[in-house]
Copies of this chain bind each other. A is one copy, B any other.
């Protein structure tokens, strides 16, 4: 590996972190490299930078594409594929969350739904099913919330996050004005349209 010290530190770190993130070391290193690179890199650039085999890079890039984490680029008069991480880091974060949800959450939610259809045959099963119901309902609520949040544009999302826990005062406020909290929105005068509220 032949990289400037700063970059090397970063790349090695992401290699090690990779395993905690469900990808192997090479994939982590490739992505770290693409992330900091000032322009798209081709597979041979990566081979040279990281000192791993060509086939390993090929597989790593394939995996990063499966995660939708890289963009394919081309240079005129050059047949090779060039790869780049999205310029906008928020795009990366959103993609990561989306993909991890798909891999780590959704399969469990499906399994829970199926399992909750079954009829318990024993007291143990009955209790187990009750616990699974709790888990299902919680994950269900979280994914609904996530679907809502995902739809908020980044700038607005940042503003909201910067409010931090102060956001929770909106509850006191709504309560004081006699808002009821309903998810479908049918009966909820929001702060935007209070006219129906008091």
Q: Which residue on chain B has the smallest CB distance to residue A153?
A: B168
* Minimum distance in angstroms from A79 CB to a CB of chain B: 25
Asked if A183 and B168 make an inter-chain contact with CB atoms under 8 angstroms apart, the answer reads no
Question: Could you tell me the distance in whole angstroms from the C-beta of A44 to the nearest C-beta in chain B?
Answer: 17
Q: Does A128 contact B (CB under 8 A)?
A: yes
Q: Which residue of B lies closest to A119 (CB)?
A: B6
Smallest Cβ-Cβ distance to A85: which chain B residue: B131
Any B CB within 8 A of the CB of A196: no
Q: Could you say which residues of chain B place their CB within 8 Å of the CB of A171?
A: 156, 159-160
| Residue interface mask A144-188, B partner, CB < 8 A = 1 | 110011011000101111111111111111000000010101001
Of A53-61, A63-71, A133-141, the stretch lying at the interface with chain B is A133-141
Q: Classify the secondary structure of A's interface with B.
A: helix
In the bound complex, what is the Cα–Cα distance between A192 and B176 (angstroms)?
Answer: 10
C-alpha gap A89/B139 in the complex (Å)? 11
Q: Decide: B148 and A115 in contact? CB cutoff 8 A.
A: no
- Contacting B at CB under 8 A, from A117-145, are 118, 120-125, 127-129, 131-132, 134-135, 138, 141-142, 144-145
18 contacts between A and B (CB under 8 A): A4-B125, A4-B128, A6-B129, A9-B111, A13-B108, A17-B107, A21-B104, A22-B22, A89-B131, A93-B138, A141-B161, A144-B164, A151-B165, A152-B168, A156-B168, A160-B167, A160-B170, A169-B191
6 tightest A-B CB contacts, nearest first: A148-B164, A36-B128, A173-B191, A148-B165, A145-B161, A38-B127
